[in-house]
Amino acid sequence: MNRLVVVAEMTLRELLRRRGVLLLLLLMPLTFYLIRRDAYLGQSVRSLLLGVGWAVSTAALFATTAARELEPRLRLAGYRPHHLYLGRVLGLWTVGLVISVPFFLLPMIDGADLRYGGLAAALLCSVAVAAPFGMLIGALLPREMEGTLLLLTVVTVQMLIDPAGSGAKLTPFWSTREIATWAVDHTDQGYLSRGVLHGLVVTALLVVGVAAVVSVRLRRRRHLRHLPVG
């Protein structure tokens, strides 16, 4: 338990010291929101949510890449793989939750008429999916440049795709869009339940994906036999 907490804490400390990433986390969603502010409310809120998702994913990507070299040593120091990826995702979720607060208040200050419960749910969903998503990309692509480009591609597709289309449910942040639609357009309950379900399933799948990649990379190798000191 303590090992999990220590990893989460160090993830947090690292992120807080990276000014660039912090700026990104705060500015990007704000910028997205402001750009679409004059347009229809749904657009601006959806942009805000996408911005939050993208920012947290990028932070997760950077955190994972930075920690890559350290992980084998931590393994030798006594950590199991699950301490490392669960600790990191907890730290990232904490960061995501913290930055969600001002962005929850933003439309409120702007006097937007929407279901704020839905906004909260959508923000939570964004953060929940974004953290393991960024971690998975970081685990699969060793360099930040390639990872960032992949993230950019995914976010762009997310933005442009028709949510009712057949492939739309395959995009990671589809859940956020559905819940946002429920919040902004005051549609029926179905949107909310579909969105939450999709969000939970995608989050779980991504976490399992990260678990698999990390566990394989840090696995106990068969050629090495460890004996206790005799």
Rounded to the nearest whole angstrom, what is the least distance from the CB of residue 90 to another protein in the complex? Answer: 15
* Pair 112, 41: CB distance under 8 Å: yes
Q: Give me the least distance between CB of 22 and another protein, in Å please.
A: 12
Nearer to another protein, 3 or 194 (CB): 3
| Shortest CB 6 distance to another protein, Å | 4
87 or 107: CB nearest another protein = 87
What 3-state DSSP class applies to 152? Answer: helix
Interatomic CA distance for residues 45 and 122, integer angstroms: 10
Q: Which is nearer to another protein, 83 or 177 (CB)?
A: 83
Cβ at position 228, least distance to another protein in Å: 7
Closest CB to another protein among 70 and 108? 70
Task: Write down the least CB distance from residue 34 to another protein, Å.
Answer: 30
Neighbours of 33 (CB within 10 A): 23
- In angstroms, the first-to-last Cα distance of the chain is 29
Residues making contact with another protein (CB under 8 A): 2-3, 6-7, 10, 13-14, 17-18, 66-67, 69-70, 72-74, 76-79, 220-230
Both tokens of 201, joined, read 């399933």
Closest of 144, 18, 141, 5 to residue 86, by C-alpha? 5
Nearer to another protein, 67 or 207 (CB): 67
| Sequence-distant (≥ 6) Cβ neighbours of residue 58 within 8 angstroms | 21, 24, 134, 148, 151
